[in-house]
Amino acid sequence: MHKMLYAAVITLSMCLLAPAHALDNHLARTPPMGWNSWNSFHCDVSAKLVEATADAMVSSGMKAAGYQYVNIDDCWLLKKRSADGKLVPDPRKFPHGIKAVADYVHRKGLKLGIYESAGTTTCAGYPGSIGHEASDAKQFASWGVDYLKYDNCGDYQGETYRQRYTAMRDALAASGRAIVYSLCEWGNKAPWTWAQSIGNLWRTTQDITPRWETDQPANSYPQGIMDILDQQAGLSKTSHPGAWNDPDMLEVGNGYLTDNENRAHFSLWALLNAPLIAGNDIRHMSDKVRAVLTNKDVIAVDQDWGGRQGYKVRDDGSTEVWAKPMSDGSVAVILLNRGKGPINIATTAHEIGLKGSAHYTVRNLWTHHTATSTGPIKASVPTHAVAMFRVWPGQHASR
Ligand code: GLA
């Protein structure tokens, strides 16, 4: 075939195969990293908390590890809009308004996120944005907000999910500020089939809770880490740079999760290209929790520029193998033990998609130890834990 014609055919078929047009705001080219107030503080938000959290993000080494957004969730508002229809931050919680907090966070080299809802109220009963999108987006922009989490509570006034979420997308685009747009529609209408052209990320499930599993049905509240994981299988082809599946914010360091469970949760979220939004009190976390959240080898898997989401390779009931192709030709792999006792789990370079090579370089992303293998990748994995590796064909200089 003539070269030009060949190129045209390839381009055309790529366009036809593309799931949906991407949102072209050029943001979130890798999954957003940051912190959000909800999982630990619920309605107890304030300027004090947000500013102290920004301080801790710097002093803990989280900023250096890539965390950037400090996000205020629900309950930052007064229950009534002003006479001219504007949103009013609660003066007891934010005595100098949101702009002062944004300025503080920006001075630390970080970014500020805020929360609203695509209905008449937020989930905690504060004024929602439906019908006020343009004005609210302008307020956010004027305050210096960099990220909006847009929830699904309140009355929808007869509008479809598409209309409600598109209205805020367009309002943000017209606001004159670059604002990451995070859809929080709880996976109700399979957003992985339509949200790529609307938001930078979209929740795929109901709310997370700091438990390994709850065995609740998928459409109920709350969901454990394994419950949410099960709902991510099969979604890997639906995300790409700028458009991410969001299995909800991290619970690392919360509740009674063990060290192994914290590591497993963080590893799996990284392999899924999830936004890494910490949900613990980072002002007072233990060294162990800090070490999990700042593991650079694991974060590098999440932040790989190729943006290919990990997928389930094998499911043997209480053990699973997950893999993610990395842009340098290596593959990240997780051996997961969901069972009640320790167990040996194994896979091969071939099974995780690496082409034949005489030997492989295998780096353990939690011990940071690098070894050579002829193909098998195996570990004895404790209960509720993972082993996580990155595997390169041939010799790879260990870092
Ligand atoms: C919903 C969201 C949560 C949180 C709360 C706030 O439940 O899914 O993440 O934002 O609302 O009320």
User: Is residue 118 domain-shared with residue 151, that is, in the same domain?
Assistant: yes
Q: What is the pLDDT of residue 214?
A: 94
Residues 207 and 284 in one domain: yes
365 and 273 fall within a common domain: no
Question: Is 140 strand, coil or helix?
Answer: helix
Query: In whole angstroms, what is the distance from residue 267 CA to residue 286 CA?
Result: 18
- Look up 155 and say whether it is catalytic: no
Q: Decide: 310 and 271 in contact? Cβ < 8 Å.
A: yes
Q: How many domains does the chain have?
A: 2
Q: How many other CB atoms sit within 10 Å of the CB of residue 104? A: 18
Q: Which residue's CA is minimally distant from atom 3 of ligand 1? A: 207
In the annotation, is 151 catalytic? Answer: yes
Residue 398: inside a domain, yes or no?
Answer: no
Dist CA 275 CA 68 (whole Å): 11
pLDDT at 74: 98
**φ, ψ for residue 390 (rounded to 5)?**
-125, 130
3-state secondary structure (DSSP) of residue 76: coil
278 and 349 housed in the same domain: no
Q: What are phi and psi of 57, to 5 degrees?
A: -65, -35
205-218 pLDDT tens trace: 999 999 999 988 99
Instruction: Give the CATH number of the domain where residue 315 resides.
Output: 2.60.40.1180
Cβ distance 37 to 45 under 8 Å? yes
Q: Tell me the C-alpha distance between 177 and 164, whole Å.
A: 20
Question: Residues 62, 165: one domain?
Answer: yes
**How far apart are the CA of 340 and the centre of ligand 1, in A?**
32
- Nearest-atom number in ligand 1 for the CA of 149 is 10
Closest by CA to 65, choosing from 312, 270, 264, is 270
Q: What is the domain extent for residue 332? A: 311-393
- Among 73, 115, 117, 220, say which to mutate for ligand 1: greatest number of ligand atoms within 8 Å of CB: 73
CA–centroid distance, 21 to ligand 1, in Å, is 28
Cα–Cα separations (whole angstroms), residue 97 to 76, 89, 126, 145? 10, 6, 17, 12
Domain end call among 303, 319, 346? 303
Q: pLDDT 10s digit of each residue in the chain, 399 long?
A: 444 444 444 444 444 444 456 788 999 999 999 999 999 999 999 999 999 999 999 999 999 999 999 999 999 999 999 999 999 999 999 999 999 999 999 999 999 999 999 999 999 999 999 999 999 999 999 999 999 999 999 999 999 999 999 999 999 999 999 999 999 999 999 999 999 999 999 999 999 999 999 988 998 999 999 999 999 999 999 999 999 999 999 999 999 999 999 999 999 999 999 999 999 999 999 999 999 999 999 999 999 999 999 999 999 999 999 999 999 999 999 999 999 999 999 999 999 999 889 999 999 999 999 999 998 999 999 999 999 999 999 998 755
398: exposed, middle or buried (C-beta count within 10 Å: 0-12, 13-18, 19+)?
A: exposed
Q: Looking at ligand 1, which residue's alpha carbon is closest to its atom 6?
A: 74
- pLDDT at site 23: 87
Query: What's the whole-model pTM score?
Result: 0.94
CA 123 / ligand 1 centre spacing (Å): 6
Residue 29 inside a domain? The answer is: yes
Same domain assignment for residues 271 and 385: no
- Which residue puts its alpha carbon closest to atom 11 of ligand 1? 123
Quote the pLDDT of residue 235: 98
The answer to whether position 186 is within a domain reads: yes
Catalytic residue among 55, 90, 103, 207: 207
Helix (H) or strand (E) segment spanning residue 23: none
Q: Whose CA is nearest to atom 9 of ligand 1?
A: 207
pLDDT, position 398 = 58
Query: Given 264, 281, 303, which residue is the final one in a domain?
Result: 303
Does residue 123 have its Cβ closer than 6 Å to ligand 1?
Answer: yes
